[in-house]
Structure 1
Amino acid sequence: MAPRKCEVCAESQSKYKCPICLIPYCSLICFKKHKEILCRKLESPVEVKACESTAPASTVDDEKPLYVEEPSEVLQGVQLELIASSSEIRDAMKDEKLKKLICDIDSAMDPEKELDKVMEVEEFRLLTEKILSTITP
C-alpha cells in the first residue's frame, strides 16, 4: 500500500487516521485542526474500518467494518499519538509473533473470541498492559 498524504495539510505523509472518520493526518496539529473543522461523527453504532493487515493485498478485506457498541471505547487521537510515540510499544511491535497474533485477530471470523484466546499469550498480554499504561493518566 502506497504512503498516503495528510488530508488536512496535504503536505506531509500521514502517520495516523482519525478514530471517528478515518481521515489520514500527519500530526497533532493537523488532528486538532481536523477536529475543529472537518470531522463528521458517524452515527451510532460507530463504524470504523478494521486495522490494516500486513497480509498480502489480495487477502485484505478493505471494506470490513468494525462496529463499536460503545463509542467512548474508541481511542482518541491523543491516545493514538501516545501509543505511536512510545518507543517501548514500537519496539514490541517489531516482534513477528505479535504481528501474527494481531493479524489473526483482525482476520478472524469471531475477533472477540480470537482476542480472548490471544490474551492468554504472555507477549500479547504484556503488550496490552504497556498500551493501557501509556494511555491511562
Structure 2
Amino acid sequence: MQAQCEVCTEGAAKYKCPQCVLKYCSVQCYKQHKETCVTKDASRKDSGSETLEKERIQEQKEEGELSDVELETTEDKVERHLLEKLEESGELKTLLQNPHLRVMMSALVGADNPGKLMEDAMKEPIFTEFADECLKVVEPEQT
C-alpha cells in the first residue's frame, strides 16, 4: 500500500524530500514543502559546497528543470555506452536469475534507508559477485 502525501494529504506519495524524508506526491507539494523544510536549512549551514551542489541538482531534477545532459554531469557518471554493455553481459543475466539477488535488488529500489541496506547487501556473496561483475563491465581498466 502506498503512503499518503504528507503535504496535501490527498495524493499517493511517490517521492521523498532528500533532506528530511517527508513524503510528497508532486512538484507542487515539493515546492510548498521546501519553503518550510527545517532540515534543509540546517544542512545548508553545516555542509560543504559538494553537498550543496548535490542538493541543488536533486531539487532541479525533482522540479523537472534539468535536461538529460545536465543530469549526467556528476562525478560518479558512468558513460551511457558502458551502461548499455551491462545489458549485454551474459554473466550479469545469469546472476540475475538468482531469486535471492532479485529480492535484494527490489528491496534496494524501494528502501527508506538504501545506504544501510546496501551495506548489508555487500555482506552477501551473491550481491558482491553481482557488484564485481558490474564493475568489470563499466570499469574494465580498474578491475
**TM-score, normalization: structure 2?**
0.47
Which structure exhibits the higher relative contact order, with contacts defined as CA atoms closer than 8 Å and separated by 6 or more residues?
A: 1
**For the pair shown, which has the larger CA radius of gyration, 1 or 2?**
2
More helix by share: 2
**TM-score, normalization: structure 1?**
0.49
